[in-house]
Amino acid sequence: MAETVSERQIGDVVLDLRNISLAFGGVNALSDISFDVREHEIRAIIGPNGAGKSSMLNVINGVYQPQQGEVVLRGQRFEKMSPGHAARAGIARTFQNIALFKGMSVLDNIMTGRNLKMKSNILQQAVWWGPAQREELAHREKVEEIIDFLEIQHIRKTPVGRLPYGLQKRVDLGRALAMEPSILLLDEPMAGMNIEEKQDMSRFILDVNDQLGTTIVLIEHDMGVVMDISDRIVVLDYGKKIGDDTPDEVRANPEVIAAYLGASH
Amino acid sequence: MIYRENGQFKTSYAADQQIFPIRQDRYAIAALLVFAFVGVPLLADEYMFRAILIPFLILGLAALGVNILVGYCGQITLGAGAFMAVGAYAAYNFLARVDGMPLLGALLLGGATAAVAGIVFGVPSLRVRGLYLAVATLAAQFFFDWAFLRIKWFTLDSSSGSVSVSNLEMFGWTINSPVEKYLFCLGLLAVFALLAKNLVRGAIGRQWMAIRDMDVAAEVIGIRPMYAKLSAFAVSSFIVGVAGALWGFVHLGSWEPAAFSVDRSFQLLFMVIIGGMGSIMGSFFGAAFIVVLPIFLNQALPWLGNLVGVSISTVGVSHSEFIIFGALIVFFLIVEPHGIARLWSTAKEKLRLWPFPH
Ligand SMILES: Nc1ncnc2c1ncn2[C@@H]1O[C@H](COP(=O)(O)OP(=O)(O)OP(=O)(O)O)[C@@H](O)[C@H]1O
Ligand SMILES: [Mg+2]
């Protein structure tokens, strides 16, 4: 895996987070956090439970509005990012607590990820024949490519609610990939998985990063995986940034070690 | 023939995306359509048309509209009756005020007016949900009840708010007898069912269901809640409005605002719950059930009573109707939120495996 990582061309900063502070009532989820993400890299965010990792992703794609700071995306400043803006700017994400559309099949969940690319109007869709059907078929082919890539052909018609957890995580990734994002935010994509499932998921993430050039921001608790696949790591603890470096440097950082030993892990 | 999809391999995504991908289902639906268009007109008598079939078709259409909003988009409405009224009175006004307005034009314009009303009264859904939204849509019900009773302009100054339509005619075809009315409603229902099915299996349908299932995730992939919700209100109210116009024009002939009271709103909601939320077919199951049940009870209960030597009065029958409805709604809400439609598809799944259960 290490070779694949080193062959990629890491580019300029695409996403710059400047002095982000976010509080819920009295709780400071994030205090004055700054870091950047470079094009094509795999950027990990780690930290003990409640450190503010998920909150950080929610700030990046506009689900939460920080009280202070700004998100700079390819040089464009957003004081108020919204989920719609983020989606249109090419940011996709998966969720820590899977947020699939439970009543829909795997295929429909992933097809929904293409909604921004589908242009036929409501009348054309009601008639179906013609533009709407052509569009539906074109996108179906794209979605089938994703289904093949994630190796979930056998469950494409299954309602997602009936799937085991590991497969739901894959479908969640599939829906995000269907957006053909330039930046992909992954919130604990391997939580609750066994070794084999983790290996599959790591492979998918590396392939996406390598073959599509997608920039990846990854939250993960499994240190082995994180050290293995990420280029740079941000460490959060109680809403503060306590480290921001390459895996090797982070591993050696005494503050990080203390935070991890202090929190019962 | 055994019900199987074995050996029916799909060679293209287009084939896979058909409404009825299984061949036996296609035959069944074709047979059903032939029966409905040819068989029923030969078999049914006038009472059947007036008391059962025409009300079933029109309320089935209205339930379909409600299902789009409630079953597919996950919003709630207690104002469906009001949107039927808007459709009916708007269509009436277009027909009466515009020279040479064709019947179909009036019905569709009635639907369009109801769609606009639906969008206006759907705006609260952008801020509130659940109980609060129910109350907001109930406000639509009371507002329109009041408007059609008190604002004389809508009813061409008739004193009681009662209006009537006669001489229905379309493309030179006079729609007079019960059979003709039945065929007219059936044709419209078939067309609307097809259009609605196309919407719910396409891009907009996925947006509605995404909002229903997980609205935060829907926003994160770029779905605009405002567009998704208001389009559901518009499409739903359009269909409900056309159904309202049919109810007035075809079924009643002459009507007053009470024909579209809050009772109607609840009845339509019950049809969707019992028939199956998020299923086009379910809307029709629900409508059939609610139209037929009272008639069935009227016949069956006194007969059953006689068997055991008790006489059951008409009042008793209508009370038992409420009890049975109530029990069924509680049953479906708790045990099977996808209603009769789900029971039906479970049965089909079993049949697919029959006679080998594994
Ligand atoms: N919507 C919210 N309302 C109130 N408090 C919140 C909310 N979201 C997060 N918090 C609080 O912010 C802090 C950071 O939470 P966050 O979910 O970002 O942590 P995390 O690093 O993702 O933790 P975990 O590893 O458990 O997922 C926690 O104290 C949490 O309780
Ligand atoms: Mg988290």
- Picking from B121, B97, B127, B124, the residue whose alpha carbon sits closest to that of residue B109 is B97
Measured distance CA(A212)–CA(B285) in Å, rounded: 48
- Is residue A5 pLDDT above 50, yes or no? no
The CB of A159 under 6 Å from ligand 1? The reply is no
* Torsions phi, psi for A67 (to 5 deg): -70, -30
> Tokens standing for A139?
């996108």
Fold of the CATH domain A1-23+30-90+180-265: Rossmann fold (3.40.50)
Half-sphere exposure of B242 (CA within 13 A, CB side): 27
Query: Which of A54, A220, A260 has the most ligand 1 atoms within 8 A of CB, as the residue to mutate?
Result: A54
Distance (Å) from the alpha carbon of B49 to chain A's nearest alpha carbon: 30
Residue B219 has a pLDDT of 95
- pLDDT-based confidence at B67, cuts 50/70/90? very high
> What span, in angstroms and rounded, lies between the C-alpha atoms of A263 and A256?
11
pLDDT band at A4; cut points 50, 70, 90: very low
Q: Is the CB of A47 under 6 A from ligand 1?
A: yes
Reference A54, options A83, A77, A29; nearest CA is: A29
Mean pLDDT, rounded, for B102-118: 95
**ipTM for this prediction:** 0.92
User: In the prediction, which pLDDT does B356 show?
Assistant: 64
| Lowest model confidence (mean pLDDT) among A35-49, A127-141, B37-51 | B37-51
Beta carbons of B117 and B83 less than 8 angstroms apart: yes
Cα separation, A149 vs A181, in Å, equals 16
- Tell me the three state secondary structure of residue A140: helix
Q: Which residues of A100-110 are buried (b: 16+ CB within 10 A; e: fewer)?
A: bbbbbbbbbbb
pLDDT at residue B218, as a whole number: 96
Secondary structure of residue B137 in the 3-state scheme: helix
CA distance A164 to A166: 6
Condensed to tens digits (0 to 9), the pLDDT of residues B260-285 reads 989 999 999 999 998 988 999 999 99
Give, in order, the Cα–Cα distances in Å from A99 to each of A54, A87, B159, B220: 14, 16, 56, 10
User: What mean pLDDT value characterizes chain B?
Assistant: 86
- Interchain CB distance below 8 Å, B221 and A116: yes
Please report the pLDDT score of residue A6 as a whole number.
45
Inter-chain residue contact A92 with B218, CB threshold 8 Å:
no
According to DSSP, the β-strands at B173-174 and B163-164 are unpaired
- In this structure, the dihedral spanned by the alpha carbons of residues A157, A161, A165 and A167, taken in order and rounded to 10 degrees, is 10
- Mind listing the pLDDT tens digit for each residue in A56-100? 999 999 999 999 999 999 999 987 889 999 999 999 999 999 899
For the stretch B181-194, pLDDT in tens is 999 999 999 999 99
The closest-lying atom of ligand 1 relative to the alpha carbon of residue A221 is 25
What pTM, to 2 d.p., does this model score?
0.91
Q: For testing the chain B interface, which of A60, A105, A122, A147 should be mutated: the one with the most B CBs within 10 Å?
A: A122
Residue B279: closest CA among chain A residues belongs to which residue? A103
- List the single residue in A112, A128, A144 with the smallest CB-CB distance to B221: A112
Question: Contact B260/B81 with Cβ under 8 angstroms?
Answer: yes
Confidence (pLDDT) at A192: 87
Residue from A85, A104, A135 to probe the interface with B (highest B Cβ count within 10 Å): A104
Please determine, for residue A7, whether its predicted confidence score (pLDDT) is greater than 60.
Answer: no
Measured from the alpha carbon of residue A56, the closest ligand is 1
Amino acid letter at A44?
A
Per-residue model confidence (pLDDT) at position B165: 80
3-state SS assignment for residue A33? strand
Residues 6+ apart with CB under 8 A from B303: none
The span from the CA of A259 to the CA of B54, in Å, is 72
Q: What does the buried/exposed string (b/e) look like for A127-163 if buried means 16 or more CB atoms within 10 Å of the residue's CB?
A: ebeeebbebbeebbebbeebbebbebeebbeebbeeb
Strand (E) or helix (H) holding B161? none
Contacts of A177 in chain B (CB under 8 A): none
Rg (CA), chain A: 19
pLDDT in tens, A170-216: 999 999 999 999 999 999 999 989 999 999 999 999 999 999 999 99
Q: What is the Cα–Cα distance from A191 to B69, expressed in whole angstroms? A: 36
Please give the Cα distance from A78 to A70 (Å, whole number).
6
Give the start-to-end residue ranges of the domains of chain A: 1-23+30-90+180-265, 102-175
Q: For residue range B291-314, what is the model confidence (pLDDT) as tens digits?
A: 888 888 888 877 888 888 777 777
Task: Give burial (CB, 10 Å; 0-12/13-18/19+) of B278.
Answer: buried
